[in-house]
Structure 1
Amino acid sequence: MLGAEKGKAVQLDGKGLRIGVVQARFNQGITNALAQACVGELQALGVNAEDIVHVTVAGALEVPSALQAMAESERFDALVALGCVIRGETYHFELVCNESAAGVTRVGLDYGLPIANAILTTENLPQAVARQDEKGRDAAQVAVEMARLLSELNPE
């Protein structure tokens, strides 16, 4: 069986992986915390600091374009999308959430590259703060796990 067997923990080994991280600057206090947790967890999983490329973009809608450029470079084993969209009083929240998520998914599928999507979509700031560290770490773990799984499924 590839990946983890049912009921067994996945062994996450980031050694030798190259990971790209795209961070939206909008709601920067939250996204900085997401990035710090993500990069810290990547390093804890064995990804070398020099194998992590971390870039920033204006907001969640710009994240897919940077992910696409990274995917086109063929330099990465996995990518991570970090951002934070907090509901406001207009429909703009739904537009940003839906379009950024669709863009992230499309890049991953178009390039066959795993992308951990940690663009938070919350009702308010306290919800975002409550999730920032855990979701940053989760994104790092997902990126490593999926990079290893896709490598097993598509050996060169």
Structure 2
Amino acid sequence: MFGAEQGTAPTLDGAKLRIGIVQARFNESITNALAAACRAELLALGVQEKNIDHVLVPGALEVPVALQAMAEREQYDALVALGCIIRGETYHFELVANESGAGVTRLSLDYQLPIANAIITTENMEQAIARQTDKGRDAARVAVEMANLLDTLN
């Protein structure tokens, strides 16, 4: 994904948005960095600190249920999913990556609510470290852009 052409986004303004973040604690050093980068970018885009709610869950498989609880409150313009799944020696990597990703996507569609999925999946810790800041920042930008887009479509 490095060097991928992402296109040019419109000017992003998060001043009127309320954003919820769900962060998995598993691989906490990575997810803390994802969360810090995401929060910093949200603030840089104008989202007010008081309009950012941030909750922690044990791991990536628990992210969707917390997102669902937040979506059901009907007070967020967008949500962000943060986590880090690093391949191990068993099939568990595929299970966690596939199920957490499918859960996030299903919730976004069911609730018609943008959810920026920054549950990163990597082969090793080095790849995770290389992606933690950019992916956290990207998630914030996706959340703001999609919240603004859906506002214009509704």
Q: Does 2:95 match 1:133?
A: no
Q: Does 2:41 match 1:41?
A: yes
Partner letter of residue 26 of structure 1? F
Structure 1 segments, 4+ long, off by >6 Å, are none
Structure 2 equivalent of residue 4 of structure 1: none
* Counterparts in 2 of 1:8 and 1:101: CA distance versus 1, 3 Å: closer
Give per-residue Cα distances to partners, 1:78-132, cap 9 Å, x unaligned: 0000000000000000000000000000110000000000000000000000000
**Following the alignment from structure 1 to structure 2, what is the Cα–Cα distance between the partners of residues 62 and 9?**
31
**Following the alignment from structure 2 to structure 1, what is the Cα–Cα distance between the partners of residues 112 and 17?**
16
Partner letter of residue 22 of structure 1? V
Aligned-pair distance for 1:8? 5.1
Aligned-pair distance for 1:9? 3.8
1:135-150 matches, cutoff 5 A: 135-150=135-150
Structure 1 equivalent of residue 58 of structure 2: 58
Structure 2 equivalent of residue 3 of structure 1: none
Partner letter of residue 21 of structure 1? I
Identity of matched residues, %? 74
Structure 1 equivalent of residue 122 of structure 2: 122
TM-score with structure 1 setting the length = 0.94
Q: Which stretch shifts more, 9-18 or 142-151?
A: 9-18
* Counterparts in 2 of 1:101 and 1:9: CA distance versus 1, 3 Å: closer
| Secondary structure of the corresponding residue to residue 75 of structure 2 | coil
Partner letter of residue 132 of structure 1? Q
| Secondary structure of the corresponding residue to residue 89 of structure 2 | coil
Structure 1 unmatched ranges of 5 or more: 1-6
1:1-40 matches, cutoff 5 A: 9-40=9-40
Structure 2 equivalent of residue 83 of structure 1: 83
Structure 1 equivalent of residue 104 of structure 2: 104
**Following the alignment from structure 1 to structure 2, what is the Cα–Cα distance between the partners of residues 136 and 12?**
16
**Following the alignment from structure 2 to structure 1, what is the Cα–Cα distance between the partners of residues 78 and 65?**
15
Partner letter of residue 23 of structure 2? Q
Partner letter of residue 13 of structure 1? D
**Following the alignment from structure 1 to structure 2, what is the Cα–Cα distance between the partners of residues 70 and 106?**
14
RMSD: 0.8
